[in-house]
Amino acid sequence: MSSDAATSFEKEETKILAVIPSIGGPGLKEVVDLQRTLQGLEHVSCVVVSNSRRLTQHLEASKTPFVTDESNGGFGRSVQSGARTDENWRWLLIVNDDINLDADTFSKAVNANLGANNKHPEIVYFDEDVSRPIPSLRDVFLQVSLLGNIIRKLRTPHVSEKESYRSFSCVAISKELFDLNDGFDDDLLFTYEDADFVARAMKFGARQRVVGKCGVFHSHSLSSGRHIDKVLPVATYSAARYLDKRGSSLTVNSLVILLALLIRLAFVPVTRASKKRHLKGIYFSAKTVILRAHRRPQLPDYAKL
């Protein structure tokens, strides 16, 4: 720990609440190990938000701190639930369950960057993910259709801080910003939660910082791919609702996403997911987009995970 960081903590304790939303995708033991690593860091308390009955049973047996509402309500809802477990935190540290940490290196990075009781609305990224533009209608089309995977290989556009975001795989959010933003929009069940949060945060003059070489390794769990028939309709619903929030026409949003799903059909043979499940997911995604004003899809059932 640097002397400056130590001094800032000693003057006024800064409490950091770490939240791990999880269905246990990377492995039950791995989730527990991650919680214990984070809990062992100075000034950090950590809770797992369990969205799976199997994970809940394992956490109970291993006496690991967790919270659950016995549902699988998505990323934003999970973070909100975890944040409510302690009202005295100054920083909320969100950590994906497929993150691996070098405890000593990460601890030094946390102490150096979250050491002061920050009074500014701020986002601090600890995973060196690529910067990407806050999604426009065009970006959502490219992502849903999978054409974005090709475009990114051809060129990486430069975007300013106010127009960009990074994945919330390992990120700290100041209490001031979380409250100003009123947390996450839990109607964005899966995908676009982070982009939406940043887009709203920029209206409050939020700052974004990236901490490099901080002992964070992202293994990128493939659990969503195994449930693509259930997850894709939810992700597509979130994409549509995200665009609706941005103010563009609901009809235009629907047509753009339906066209993207049609193009996506061409990529089914070359993706890792089960072809049958993928096709089923595309069909229900189209249905979900058309009916989104009346029906909200569900992620895989808590009791069956």
Say if residue 286 is in the same domain as residue 176: no
d(CA 79, CA 21): 7
Same domain, 196 and 283: no
213, part of any domain: yes
The total of structural domains in the chain comes to 2
Measured between alpha carbons, how far is 108 from 111 in angstroms, rounded to an integer? 5
248 and 288 share a domain? Answer: yes
Q: Flag residues of the chain having pLDDT under 70.
A: 1-14, 116-118, 152-158, 220-225
**Can you give the residue range of the structural domain that contains 273?**
223-304
Residues 258, 113 share a domain: no
Residue 263 and residue 212 in one domain: no
- 136 domain-assigned: no
Verify that 119 and 238 share a domain, yes or no.
Answer: no
pTM of the model: 0.89
pLDDT tens-digit readout, 158-209: 677 778 999 999 999 999 999 999 999 989 999 999 999 999 999 999 999 9
- How far, in Å, CA of 237 to CA of 305, rounded? 21
CB 79 within 8 A of CB 21: yes
Q: Are residues 206 and 253 in the same domain?
A: no
Axis crossing angle, helix 3-11 with helix 103-113, rounded to the nearest 10: 60
Asked, for residue 137, whether it belongs to a domain, the answer is no
